[in-house]
Amino acid sequence: MLDGPPNINEPVPRAWVVTADMGLGHQRAAYPLSYMAEGGIITAGDPDVTDASEARLWKRIRGTYEFLSRTKEMPLIGSFIFKRMDYMLRIPAFYPLRDLSKPAPNNFIVDYLISRGLGKTLMKKLESPIRASAGTKNLPMISTFYAPSLVANHYKYIYSVICDADLNRVWVASKPQESGIFYFAPCGRVMRRLREYGVPDEHIFITGFPLSKENIGSPNMEILKSDLLKRLARLDPRGRFASVFGTTLEGLLGGVPIPASNEPVTVTFAIGGAGAQVEIGQQLAISLKSKIQEGTFKLKFVVGINRAIERMFAEYLIHIGLDSRVHNGVEIVCEDNKFAYFERFNRAMRETDILWTKPSELSFYSALGIPIVIAPTIGSQEDKNQRWLMDKGCALPQYTPLLAAEWLQDMLKEGILAEKAFNGFIKNRKLGVYKIEEVLKTGTMKRETDPLKR
């Protein structure tokens, strides 16, 4: 289990918060909910909630995910194998709108695994007499991975957090009209897709992705707004964006950014949980080297809990003359456990001006007013996230990494990155944690008239 930070705003609703070790995305979505998690965040498949026979089933699922994440980079046959496996995880074209409520092949696979015992020990834990005697048996369950939700399909008050801007049919029960699962949708596109899959409207709440309170502040977003004003000052060194949108910025953020041409711009490059795309990060370091040394840029590498990748980057930086122990303009974000990593990652986001990442769940961090540079996608899920980011106007595809110093500086001078940062803040939902809390407290969610209070 992952233990959450202490709650300072009692009373708050309590819930079983369940996630899965399938990369970092599902656990990242659970971390901001840890303050309401009964007994800490539960990771399905962990030894303390799983017997030996079930553990083998989870290991099979996790192995498939990790294999898929790495297969594309295998020489010769990698691309062929990846395409065959990705076909099973594909998401159909969004248009034309149509009825997609019939179960897909993945649904039959998950139903079979559940019949073999997937999730059985988790449910025993949640419904045990010991838990019941403590008054916790009827707590709602929030899951950030589809399998626990489907296992608990008829358990009272099941909420499923969707972690992407579109989703595969496997997230919805084979018979959606008979399912008791409610969904927290991060965006309107997910809501419409859930409808196609047969989920009734009364089971869908458009909350936004659960971003951590330490990056937002209260529902008035004082932390987020303060950080964004500082970021816009660095992303708009000539004041071009502010000269056009200054009045709007004053009204929404309470101030107008003063161009900070002498402050370094921080680029954060995020490595996927499976360690994909290391080479891109190395090329980025080469390109920005001289600019880091002169104080124009700072560079952060986010590698999660992967100490092997951390060592690889540390050795490479020393090799090219950017030893992070000497240059304070370079930092590698890595921790030994996921809770500490997520905490440090959120601190890093407050300092980040540009987030360079494949379009995973990190796409939703654009709502913090951080422009995204999109690294090449891995799989159909990320293709959908990329499309969503581009439609929102808060991201741009990566250009040649070895020339990043040149094209990033051009975009800073033109105010392009400042515009994309502001688009993310304006267009994407930021208050997912508060909206989820509201649903748990009241069973519903009020309609917000202020478009920013989303």
236-257 per-position pLDDT tens digit: 999 999 999 999 999 999 999 9
| Residues 6 or more apart in contact with residue 248 via CB below 8 angstroms | none
* Segment among 74-88, 369-383, 388-402 with least mean pLDDT: 74-88
Specify the residue for token string 């529902």. 219
Q: Which residue has the higher pLDDT, 217 or 77?
A: 217
Query: What is the pLDDT at residue 113?
Result: 86
Question: Token match 């990494």: residue?
Answer: 401
Peptide bond into 401 cis (omega under 30): no
Output the pLDDT for position 356. Answer: 98
Which of 4-13's residues contact partners 24+ apart within 8 Å by CB, and which partners?
Answer: 4/31, 4/33, 4/34, 4/35, 4/37, 4/40, 4/41, 4/339, 5/34, 5/35, 5/343, 6/35, 7/35, 7/36, 12/36, 12/437, 13/140, 13/437, 13/440, 13/441
- CA dihedral in degrees (314, 315, 317, 319; nearest 10)? 170
Give yes or no for a contact between 292 and 329, defined as CB atoms under 8 angstroms apart: yes
| pLDDT for position 123 | 84
Quick one: pLDDT at residue 378? 83
Between residues 110 and 128, which one has the greater pLDDT? Answer: 110
Average pLDDT, the chain: 88
Determine the Cα–Cα distance for residues 394 and 372; give it in Å rounded to an integer: 7
Helix runs in 272-401, H state only: 278-293, 307-319, 338-351, 380-392
Query: What pLDDT does 128 receive?
Result: 65
Provide the pLDDT for residue 36: 95
CB 329 within 8 A of CB 295: yes
Which of 177-186, 229-238, 377-386, 406-415 is predicted with the least confidence, judged by mean pLDDT?
377-386
Query: Quick one: which H or E segment has residue 141?
Result: strand 141-143
Residue 351 phi, psi (nearest 5): -100, -10
**Residue 58 structure tokens:** 């989870």
End-to-end CA distance of the chain: 30
Q: For tokens 């996608």, name the residue.
A: 377
CB 38 within 8 A of CB 136: yes
Cα separations in angstroms, 23 against 61, 145, 146, 265, 338: 12, 11, 14, 29, 11
Q: Assess whether pLDDT exceeds 80 at residue 451.
A: no
pLDDT value, residue 157: 83
What does the pLDDT look like over 137-160, one tens digit per residue? 678 999 999 999 999 887 768 999
| pTM (2 d.p.) | 0.91
Query: How many other C-beta atoms are found inside a 10 Å radius of the C-beta of residue 202?
Result: 8
For residue range 20-68, list pLDDT tens digits in order.
988 789 999 999 999 999 989 999 888 877 887 788 778 777 766 666 5
pLDDT at 77 > cutoff 60: no
For residues 275 and 269, what is the distance between their CA atoms, to the nearest angstrom? 12
Rounded to 5°, angle at Cα 111 from 107 and 117: 150
pLDDT of residue 453: 66
Structural domains in the chain plus CATH codes: 16-211+432-442 (no CATH), 217-427 (3.40.50.2000)
Rounded percentage of the chain residues whose pLDDT exceeds 70: 87
| Dihedral of alpha carbons 52, 53, 57, 59, sign | positive
pLDDT band at 115 (very low <50, low <70, confident <90, very high): confident
- Antiparallel, parallel or unpaired: β 141-143 and 16-20: parallel
Distance CA 104, CA 69 (A): 22
Q: How far apart are CA 31 and CA 10, in angstroms?
A: 18
